[in-house]
Structure 1
Amino acid sequence: MKIHVLQHSALNTLGTVEEYSRTKNHPLESTRFYKITNPPALDSFDLLIIMGGPMGIYDYEENPWLRDEKAFIKQTIEAGKPVLGICLGAQLLADVLGARVYENGHREMGWFPVKAVRTEGNKPEFLEGLPEEITVFNWHSRTFDLPAGAVHLFRSEGCKNQGFIYNDRVVALQFHPEVHKERVESMIMRFGGESGNGPFIQKKEEMFGQEKYLAETKKFMFKVLDKFEEIAGQGRLR
């Protein structure tokens, strides 16, 4: 499975995505639209992963390249490619699919549990084999509405829409399943002083360490990527 990643800053490293690609011997390439003008060819990858970033998805004046990236994401979806969006990447997917992205009622910064959304009329196959609840790393102030036709996947106490799946092959996750120890520490050291206060904002000392949560998050991320591996070339997530 050939993986292509869209990155939005030098700080937003690939974390366990890179570890997964090495473990599975999957080719991994990346594009930074803020540095280049030519997008990758659609036939050069099997899975597109859209990473997080510090900007807002409508910050066109400061980041005019966002329009080009959104156009590429739309083309990728229309071509039937599997796509995974993380944090900012999830918001970009929501926007491209016609949903609203806006400030959440609370900032979520730190380790907080997210729960799988399973109801009588909502039993996504994507959730099979994934935990009912998992404590994951959050670092966001914005949220999104579910796009028309999307299926709700995850929610948390501080943020109703933590994830969705669209057309059985496009997955958006507002939280950060890709983090490893160095990734978490770099985010805290760079942006921790700007987090402020609130019911879903942890102190720095509460965010550091957390080896148990890191291990569980890595296992979760690998399972998610295994699902994409299974459907690479098939166009449908199970």
Structure 2
Amino acid sequence: MTASPASRKTLLALRHVHFEDLGTLAPYFTERGYTIAYVDAPLADLRSIDVLAPDLVVVLGGPIGAFDEATHPFVADELALVKARLGAGAPILGICLGAQLMARAMGAKVYPLGVKEIGYAPLTLTEAGQTSPLAALGDASVLHWHGDQFDIPAGAEHLARTAIGENQAFASGTHALGLQFHLEADAARIEAWLVGHACELGAAKIDPVALRAQAREHHARLSKVAPAVIGRWLDAMPA
């Protein structure tokens, strides 16, 4: 049931490329009473944003690194926004690049993984992860698409790993959740990812035909369990 206009909350999504948006989570956030506003981080005046004003901030993925401010100066301003949000203890969700920015803002290292982890595969949950919102995933496969990795920030809980990437998710209190993988990716729109990242796929020798087939295979289940994860996270926050 959709919330009434008077009871709606605000969600600010920091986006880096248009096709890496809230995906399958967008309609769920709307159902939960959020009005969604996107800010395109590479183009926006990030210093003018009051990052504490929204009820929820989601920092999305992108094909650059969390340490690339020398090449892409806006990264420094975005990192400052993330740090301010975290410092205030305000709800924030980071996905892929977003999680890396969160980890860096919390003093952890972000660095090249050494390989590309691209494709659908399940996670192995840590002991903490088994009692976290990620437990709603079960053995469902999620989309991995990254070449960098974060260390788990001091004081945060390590929630998940894969054989390729040890640090796949962390939580800090109930307000901050960082996901290295793409829980939100809409497999029905995977073609935009395959075209937008065609050069990266070619360099990594990843077959887009196989990746497209994986997306079709996992779409139905992932589109159900992804909102379940976010629902548990939202429900655990103090009112």
Match of 1:2 among 1, 10, 17: 10
Q: How much is the aligned-residue C-alpha RMSD, in angstroms?
A: 2.3
Q: In 2 relative to 1, CA 221–128 (structure 1 residues): closer, same or farther, beyond 3 Å?
A: closer
Report the equivalent of 1:85. Answer: 94
Contact 1:13 1:183 survives alignment (8 Å): no
Report the equivalent of 1:220. Answer: 225
Report the equivalent of 1:165. Answer: 171
Structure 2's unaligned 5+ residue stretches are 1-8
Report the equivalent of 2:65. Answer: 56
Q: In 2 relative to 1, CA 127–117 (structure 1 residues): closer, same or farther, beyond 3 Å?
A: farther
Match of 1:190 among 193, 196, 199: 196
Cα deviation for residue 185 of structure 1 reads: 1.6
Please give the alpha-carbon distance, in whole angstroms, between the structure 1 residues aligned to 2:77 and 2:222: 31
Cα deviation for residue 128 of structure 1 reads: 6.8
Please give the alpha-carbon distance, in whole angstroms, between the structure 2 residues aligned to 1:123 and 1:224: 12
Q: In 2 relative to 1, CA 72–43 (structure 1 residues): closer, same or farther, beyond 3 Å?
A: closer
Single out whichever of 31-40 and 65-74 deviates more from structure 2: 31-40
In the alignment, is residue 35 of structure 1 matched against residue 43 of structure 2?
A: yes
Match of 2:148 among 142, 151, 164: 142
Single out whichever of 101-110 and 171-180 deviates more from structure 2: 101-110
Cα deviation for residue 139 of structure 1 reads: 0.9
In the alignment, is residue 18 of structure 1 matched against residue 26 of structure 2?
A: yes
Contact 2:129 2:160 survives alignment (8 Å): no
Cα deviation for residue 106 of structure 1 reads: 2.3
CA deviations on 1:159-205 (whole Å, 9 max, x unpaired) are 1111111123211111101111344221112223433577xx74212
Q: In 2 relative to 1, CA 127–224 (structure 1 residues): closer, same or farther, beyond 3 Å?
A: closer
Q: In 2 relative to 1, CA 204–96 (structure 1 residues): closer, same or farther, beyond 3 Å?
A: same
CA deviations on 1:53-86 (whole Å, 9 max, x unpaired) are 1111121133111111111111111112111100
Report the equivalent of 1:208. Answer: 212
Match of 2:55 among 46, 67, 70: 46
Greater share of residues in helix: 2
Q: Secondary structure at the match of 2:158?
A: strand
Single out whichever of 66-75 and 174-183 deviates more from structure 2: 174-183
Over the matched positions of the two proteins, sequence identity in percent amounts to 29
Cα deviation for residue 25 of structure 1 reads: 4.0
Cα deviation for residue 39 of structure 1 reads: 4.3
Please give the alpha-carbon distance, in whole angstroms, between the structure 1 residues aligned to 2:162 and 2:19: 26
Q: In 2 relative to 1, CA 202–117 (structure 1 residues): closer, same or farther, beyond 3 Å?
A: farther
Contact 2:129 2:158 survives alignment (8 Å): no
> Runs (4+) of structure 1 moved beyond 3 Å?
22-25, 122-125, 209-212
Cα deviation for residue 34 of structure 1 reads: 2.0
Q: In 2 relative to 1, CA 177–123 (structure 1 residues): closer, same or farther, beyond 3 Å?
A: closer
Contact 2:170 2:178 survives alignment (8 Å): yes
Q: Give TM-score scaled by structure 1 length.
A: 0.86
In the alignment, is residue 70 of structure 1 matched against residue 76 of structure 2?
A: no
Cα deviation for residue 46 of structure 1 reads: 1.4
Please give the alpha-carbon distance, in whole angstroms, between the structure 2 residues aligned to 1:173 and 1:128: 10
Contact 2:137 2:229 survives alignment (8 Å): no
Please give the alpha-carbon distance, in whole angstroms, between the structure 1 residues aligned to 2:15 and 2:157: 26
Contact 1:9 1:53 survives alignment (8 Å): yes
